[in-house]
Amino acid sequence: MNNFVFYNPTKILFGKNQIQLLGKEMKSNNVKKVLILAGGGSIKQNGVYDVTIKTLSKEGIESVEVWGVRPNPTLDHANEAIKIARDNNVDAILAIGGGSVIDESKSIAAGFYLDNLWDVFEKKALIEKALPIYTILTLSGTCSEMDPFAVLSNEAEQKKWGMGSPLLFPKVSVIDPSIQMSLPWHQTVNGGIDAISHTMEFYFLGTNEEITISMDEAIINTIIKSIDALQVDSKDYSARSNLAWCATLALNGNSGVALKGGDWASHRIEHGISALHPEVAHGAGLAVVFPNWIKYCASENPAQFKRFAEKIWNCDNIEDAVEKMKSKFRSWSAPTTLRDLNIEKSEIEAIADNALNIGNLGAVKPLTREDVIKILEFSY
């Protein structure tokens, strides 16, 4: 195994009714006034908002609210929220939502102390301080609830980029799988495919990290089983909770132990897609790109790709495995081609250029512009 550092101080409160405990957690960390960040109004319909306000006020914690975080959250919205956070002198942020809301909350937490938030994404500034972050997760997938990373879209420059800092680990995250029971089907699927993809970004670098690799297989197999079960009964709590915890494990450090930081080419190609097509959900873009990345790169570390075929798809070669994977995604009504995403063939070069605009791409196989174009052509 390669050397590695493992560090993840986020406290997770997992399960039914755990939101009620959040006020106490925040009070014990001396939070007095919090910025609540959220997307649309769904948390007002499903009761999450009310329970949250109750646990905060029970502990005497004041709050100010910012709504309207979009899927593929934007720099502009984050900057507006930073202004409100400063004007109201908050001392913490509480993100209520999925990965988009939590990612934006990290940008706000860091940006609160910065002159120009985007500088961090451009690696022109360092995060030396950040507001403490609390989260209530409403959609499992990104693992933003238990990782130190954030992705943000700079619309003016058509850049969807990421950043991270140990200061951005959420302090406490609540994962109550029961509040995900009423999610639209495609959101459950997108979250699951995102989590499978996170695991795969590490997996294919495997050589002799037996424990990480076999845990990764446990994660991927459990996600597939859980989504299949939810397709039969979307209120299956056992499946919902296994899926939720798998999505957290897929990027909280465990799935990547000793795997050199991962590959991330598929994610970056997907960011190229959704930078140009903000209407494309991240998980949907990954469902299209990742199987074709596998097909294109399988000769690089053949033993590991063969193991993937055997342990996940119960077949003995990667071509069949990719077909089975696509067919599984289709059975979940996920897209598997760029056409399914309503993207034209003529856009492939622009997507490739966008994916490459942050520098070198890929670790299993370092990808040139031509490689990315071929993967996107496979995906068409």
- CA nearest 94: which of 120, 59, 126? 59
Q: 358: which residues sit within 8 A by CB, 6+ positions away? A: 159, 161, 268
Residue 92 or 265: which CB sits closer to a second copy? 92
Nearest distance from residue 314's CB to a second copy, in Å? Answer: 15
Residue 95 β-bridge partners: 37, 135
Is residue 231 near a second copy by the rule CB under 8 A? no
CA distance linking residue 133 with residue 131, whole number of Å: 6
Q: In this structure, what are the phi and psi dihedrals at residue 324, rounded to the nearest 5 degrees?
A: -65, -35
Nearest distance from residue 285's CB to a second copy, in Å? Answer: 25
CA distance linking residue 226 with residue 239, whole number of Å: 5
Residue 308 or 378: which CB sits closer to a second copy? 308
Retrieve residue 354's tokens: 């966008």
Nearest distance from residue 87's CB to a second copy, in Å? Answer: 33
DSSP code of 37?
A: E
Instruction: Looking at residues 12 to 41 of the shown chain, list those that interact with a second copy (rule: CB under 8 A).
Output: 12-18
Q: Name which position in 32, 33, 225, 260 contacts a second copy (CB under 8 A).
A: 225
How do beta strands 149-154 and 159-164 pair? antiparallel
Q: Name the one range near a second copy by CB under 8 A: 76-84, 215-223, 262-270, 292-300.
A: 215-223
Please answer whether residues 92 and 131 qualify as being in contact, where contact means their C-beta atoms are separated by less than 8 angstroms: yes
Nearest distance from residue 213's CB to a second copy, in Å? Answer: 9
DSSP code of 267?
A: H
Site string for a second copy, 191-210 (x = CB under 8 A): -----------------xxx
For 345, counting Cβ atoms within 10 Å of its Cβ (0-12 exposed, 13-18 middle, 19+ buried), the class is exposed
Site string for a second copy, 242-281 (x = CB under 8 A): x--xx--x----x--xx-----------------------
Nearest distance from residue 135's CB to a second copy, in Å? Answer: 14
Nearest distance from residue 247's CB to a second copy, in Å? Answer: 10
Residue 152 or 219: which CB sits closer to a second copy? 219
Q: Name which position in 44, 211, 349, 369 contacts a second copy (CB under 8 A).
A: 211
User: Number of residues in contact with a second copy, rule: CB under 8 A?
Assistant: 43
Residue 257 or 355: which CB sits closer to a second copy? 257
Q: 228: which residues sit within 8 A by CB, 6+ positions away? A: none
CA distance linking residue 134 with residue 12, whole number of Å: 10
Nearest distance from residue 218's CB to a second copy, in Å? Answer: 4
Retrieve residue 43's tokens: 């948390």
Q: Name the one range near a second copy by CB under 8 A: 10-18, 151-159, 280-288, 351-359.
A: 10-18
Three-class secondary structure of residue 148 per DSSP = coil
CA distance linking residue 189 with residue 239, whole number of Å: 13
Instruction: Looking at residues 119 to 178 of the shown chain, list those that interact with a second copy (rule: CB under 8 A).
Output: 177
Residue 244 or 281: which CB sits closer to a second copy? 244
Crossing angle between the packed helical segments 318-331 and 282-297, to the nearest 10 degrees: 170
Q: Which residue has the tokens 């056409």?
A: 339
Site string for a second copy, 64-93 (x = CB under 8 A): ------------------------------
Retrieve residue 357's tokens: 């605009």
Is residue 226 near a second copy by the rule CB under 8 A? yes
Query: Which residues contact a second copy by CB under 8 A?
Result: 1-18, 177, 208-212, 214-215, 217-219, 221-222, 225-226, 237-238, 241-242, 245-246, 249, 254, 257-258
